[in-house]
Chains A and B, each alone.
Chain A
Amino acid sequence: MQNKSWKPWAMMAPSLSAVFLLLVIPVCFIVVYSFWLRAPTGADIPAFQFGNYAKFFEDFFYPSILIRTIRVALETVALCLVMGYIPAYFFYRSETRHKSLLLLLIMLPFWISFIIRTLSWINILGETGLINHLLLKFGILNEPLSLLYNEGAVLLGLIQYLLPFMILNVYVSLEGIDKSLLEAARSLGCTEWQAFREVTLPLSLPGVSAGCLLVFVLTAGTYLPPMILGGPGNDMIANLIFKRVIGTLDWPFGSAISVLLLALLGVIVFTYNRYLGINQVFKSLSS
């Protein structure tokens, strides 16, 4: 038996190597960079100081963007939950033999580049876009609506990106519910709504919470929808990191913001795992 103890490690070696090389080492680099200094030319100066972290908290500007990011992430979670639970429940209750095809349709947007999908909203929401074109053509409006370059457009871009993650998580959780429980509830006099409220909903909560966690974490780290669909004042924390790293070559400060974001998300994931268990996320991701 002892001879075989190395086998699981050998099997996991490729994955562990990939995680180590592509995640652990880069994160270590970022942590080290966060203590460095930036020279006026943009060169990095090795140092060990906490100035970059202090700068983040020296006034309310940077924390306010972090707070905005959390707010937008929570709004996205809430909207994805409402919009995602319904189709997931429909798939669960549906007896159609085309269920797998329906699920495939959920995955279909992933076949198209995220950037292209985000850019396409400009042709739909723009002043000469599809919606305004139809509203003006049918005389419903005299002036085009300003649908682009605001927080609403950013939320739309985020929902389009993240909704499938929520639907799949909830669906996997619903699929695990024994349908005879619902029949038992109905036979004991529950209405359809009561059976849903008392049986289905509580049992699907692990999937709901896993979907919420995934959507929250992904929203907090995204920068494309705010960049493409947002207007002045819609930047999120990832846009700030992008600007510090790319715009001003201030890698040390950009790294410090990244570490703070990582720490915040780490706390959230740790808390989730402590009370709800992270297994549900992996379960739905691997389904």
Chain B
Amino acid sequence: MAKDMEHQLETLKEKYQSGEIGRRDFVKYLGMAGIAAGLTGGPFAYFAKNAFAAKSIRFDGWGGVVSEAFKKHAFEPFTKASGIQVIDGEFGDMDTYLTRVKASFPPGGEFNLAHLSGVFDYARYIGLGYGVELDESKIPNLANVMTAMVQPYKSISKGKLSAVPYDLGQTGIAYNTKHISKEKAEKLGASLLWEKDLKKKLGSWTDWRTNIWYAALHTGQSPNEVKDLDAVWNALREQRDLMKKYWSSGAELMNLLANEEIYATVAWSGRVAALQEQGHPIAFLAPKNCYSWQECIFVLKGTDLEVAQKLLNFMLEPACSLAVAEGQKYPSSLDPTKVPMSDAVKKLPAFDPTGKLDGYLFADPDYWNSRQVDWAEKWDRIRAGA
């Protein structure tokens, strides 16, 4: 279709240059060609995309160092081995991505694979009907993945999988060791984020879930079963006055810590590892009941499953998975008791040598998703000063 259009435009140009048609007609036909191109680039592009779908697959991820790791250690070798192109997209956060998926027509049809965060996100996508049923026999490397990471997904999608677990991490506390001692940080735990001496030197993510989780820890409650909600809201109000900035992206988090705008904040373990690698005096604290999460590669409805399964199996090859883990600074989902891990992976924050994830507390998807609308709105109100 593109070749046809190019040919027609070339012919039109030649006729104009040779004087066969007038200037006005040339512009008129050019306009008509533009309209045709616009139309075929719109709704009809969906059909064109399907026609070429077997040769490429789209993957959306977190961008930055995470994307680089996927591109270098997974997608480029996969394309080399299979000839299938991986189109690499990015998103800033899960909610933005879900909005884009929801807005695409048909929902999910424009997108194929996504690096989703948390079992609660998996539950949201399944709940919205964007999931598929993967054929596990086509992904033999899935057998090396920690059972503790596979089970939560299977329990949501009735024993089947629409994703493969890929890595895990923690949202702990990052603090500047020049200004906060290790002893003080460990003594205070989650309450470090309420330390009055650090007024206007504290930060937090804009995410409602993370803030409520840490407020629950600060008030001595279980994040997956908050009994005294008023205490949580009051703690968040109290904390708001101590805050300098609620950041909204990983890049912003790293900038705030690296430039010493803030001395302590909730932070993703991988980003802290990246800052440490750059030489910044930032330490990572995982307080008791630290917010742990696991990430998966979710396959969206409408995706060519043969291609998707081939890519997923490739990504779960130990060599690929461990190289990505080292690159993105998050431990792999592969079971350390089945697959030998490199020293670099063993040193990553949130790495569990037992492969059982005992003592790791994950967000209960039913509990958090059922409260999302009310709690997110309440959190927005508090953050805005209510």
- Using A42-B124, A149-B245, A248-B377 as known contacts, say yes or no to A232 and B99 having CB atoms under 8 A apart: no
Q: Across the interface, do A146 and B384 meet the contact criterion of CB distance under 8 Å?
A: no
A241 and B95 alpha carbons, distance in the complex (Å): 14
Taking A148-B261, A232-B246 as contacts, is the C-beta distance between A248 and B385 under 8 angstroms?
Answer: no
Is B151's CB within 8 Å of the partner chain A? no
| B383 CB-CB contact with A under 8 Å | yes
A40 and B260: CB pair below 8 A? no
B260 touches A128 (CB 8 A): yes
Answer whether residue A3 sits at the interface, using C-beta atoms and an 8 A cutoff.
no
If the complex has contacts A42-B124, A61-B384, are A246 and B102 also in contact, measured as CB distance less than 8 A?
no
Q: How many residues of B contact A (CB 8 A)?
A: 33
B161-199 CB mask vs A (1 if < 8 Å, else 0) is: 000000000000000000000000000000000000000
**Would you call B246 and A247 a contact (CB within 8 A)?**
no
Task: Give 5 pairs: A residue, B residue, CB < 8 Å, sorted on A.
Answer: A40-B373, A127-B260, A148-B245, A232-B384, A248-B372
Q: Does B77 contact A (CB under 8 A)?
A: no
Q: Are A249 and B102 in contact (CB under 8 A)?
A: yes
- Is the pair B128, A42 in contact by a Cβ cutoff of 8 Å? yes
Cβ-defined partner of A249 (8 Å) among B31, B98, B261 = B98
CB of B238 to closest CB in A, whole Å: 12
Residues on the B chain within 8 Å of A231, using CB? 243-246
- Check A51 for interface membership: any CB of B closer than 8 A: no
Tell me, in angstroms, the Cα distance from A250 to B385 when the chains sit together.
21
Is there contact, CB below 8 Å, between B128 and A61? no
B interface residues, Cβ below 8 angstroms from A: 31, 95-96, 98-99, 102, 124, 127-128, 200, 208, 240, 243-246, 248, 255, 259-261, 369-370, 372-373, 376-377, 380-381, 383-386
Tell me the smallest distance from the CB of B342 to a CB of chain A, in Å. Answer: 35
Q: How far is the CB of B126 from chain A (nearest CB, A)?
A: 9
Minimum C-beta distance from A9 to chain B (A): 15
A70 contacts the other chain (CB 8 A):
no
B261 touches A126 (CB 8 A): yes
Q: Do most interface residues of chain B lie in helix, strand or loop, or is the interface mixed?
A: helix
Which residues of B lie under 8 Å from residue A247 when comparing CB positions? 95, 208, 376, 380
- Could you tell me how many residues of chain A have their Cβ less than 8 Å away from some Cβ of chain B? 29
CB of A122 closer than 8 Å to a CB of B? yes
What residue of chain A has the Cβ atom nearest to residue B258's Cβ? A128
Chain A residues near B261 (CB-CB < 8 A) = 126-128, 148-149
CA distance A61 to B243 in the complex (A): 21
A128 & B259 in contact (Cβ 8 Å cutoff)? yes
Most buried by B among A43, A232, A245, A249: A232
- Contact partners of A14 in chain B: CB under 8 A: 31
B244 in complex: contacting residue of A43, A149, A235, A249, CB < 8 Å: A149
CB pair A246–B99 under 8 Å, yes or no, is yes
What CA separation (Å) do A227 and B92 show in the bound complex? 14
| Shortest Cβ distance from residue A195 to the other chain B in the assembled complex, whole angstroms | 48
Q: Are B99's CB and A245's CB within 8 A?
A: yes
Partner of B384, one of A65, A126, A128, A250: A65
Chain B residues near A249 (CB, 8 Å)? 95, 98-99, 102
Contact A248:B260 (CB < 8 A) given known A41-B127, A41-B128: no
A174 to B243, CA, bound (A): 46
Judge whether B381 and A248 touch: CB under 8 Å. no
Within the complex, the shortest CB–CB distance from B139 to chain A, in Å, comes to: 27
Q: Is the CB of A42 within 8 A of B385?
A: no
C-alpha spacing A246/B369, complex, angstroms: 15
Q: Does A179 contact B (CB under 8 A)?
A: no
Nearest Cβ on chain B to A172's Cβ, whole angstroms: 30
- B376/A227 in contact, CB under 8 A: no
Residue in A40, A128, A227, A243 whose beta carbon sits within 8 Å of that of B380 in the complex: A243
Chain B residues contacting A129 (CB-CB under 8 Å) are 259
Asked if B373 contacts A250 (CB within 8 A), the reply is yes
Residue of A nearest to B129 (CB): A43
- Is A117 on the interface with B (CB-CB < 8 A)? no
A40 and B246 form a contact (CB under 8 A): no
| A196: min CB distance to chain B, Å | 43
Q: Indicate the member of A43, A235, A249 with the most B CB atoms within 10 Å.
A: A249
| Interface of chain A residues 222 through 236 with chain B (CB within 8 A) | 227, 231-233, 235
Task: Flag if A42 contacts B259 (CB, 8 Å).
Answer: no
Residues of A within 8 A of B373 (CB): 38, 40, 248, 250
What is the 8 Å Cβ interface bit string for chain A, positions 111-132, against chain B (1 contact, 0 not)?
0000000000010001111000
Does B128 contact A43, Cβ atoms closer than 8 Å? Answer: yes
Docked pose: A246 CA to B128 CA in angstroms:
15
A246-B96, A247-B376, A250-B373 in contact; A235/B384 too (CB < 8 A)? yes
Selected from A41, A149, A232, the residue in CB contact (under 8 A) with B240 is A232
Alpha-carbon gap, A206 to B124, bound state (A): 53
CA distance A208 to B102 in the complex (A): 43
Please measure, in the bound complex, the distance between the C-alpha atom of A65 and the C-alpha atom of B31, giving whole angstroms.
Answer: 45
**New A-B pairs, 16, CB < 8 Å, besides A128-B259, A128-B260:** A40-B373, A42-B98, A42-B127, A43-B127, A43-B128, A122-B255, A126-B261, A127-B259, A149-B244, A149-B261, A231-B245, A233-B240, A233-B384, A246-B96, A247-B95, A248-B372
